[in-house]
């Protein structure tokens, strides 16, 4: 996903060679700076992998919660059709459904 937005890999940076002339930069300074860039770049790549894994996990959890809400709504509809009055079981289902909606939709 993010790979198409990143131009260089840490290996590309490591293997970069600069031209040397009489008035050029100090090679040791350039190497030290590139070492810092490589370390940061590897850390950024690691963070991206972690975030993508977290995102995948959250999407799966959200999908499962939505399935459960649909299932409970179906059960609730069946119960309401069979019994016009609200019994203890119906009240319990309504509370569970309400709690699931709060989790999924962030309602308070």
With vertex at residue 107, the alpha carbon angle to CA 77 and CA 57, rounded to the nearest 5 degrees, is: 90
Rounded Cα distance between 63 and 55, Å, is 12
More confident residue, 107 or 24: 24
> Is residue 108 over pLDDT 70?
no
Cβ-contact 72, 96 below 8 angstroms: yes
Give the pLDDT of residue 67.
93
Cβ-contact 20, 27 below 8 angstroms: yes
List, in sequence order, the alpha helices (H) in 1-105: 10-15, 27-82, 88-105
> Is residue 89 over pLDDT 70?
no
69: confidence class by pLDDT, cuts 50, 70, 90: very high
């Amino acid at each position: 996903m993010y790979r198409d937005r990143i131009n260089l890999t840490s290996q590309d940076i490591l293997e970069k060679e600069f031209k040397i002339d009489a008035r050029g930069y100090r090679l040791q300074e350039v190497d030290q700076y590139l070492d810092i860039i490589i370390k940061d770049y590897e850390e950024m790549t690691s963070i991206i992998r972690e975030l993508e894994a977290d995102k995948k996990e959250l999407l799966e959890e959200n999908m499962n919660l939505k399935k459960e809400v649909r299932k409970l709504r179906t059960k609730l509809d069946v119960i309401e059709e069979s019994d016009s009055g609200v019994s203890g079981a119906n009240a319990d289902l309504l509370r569970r459904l309400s709690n699931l909606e709060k989790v999924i939709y962030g309602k308070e």
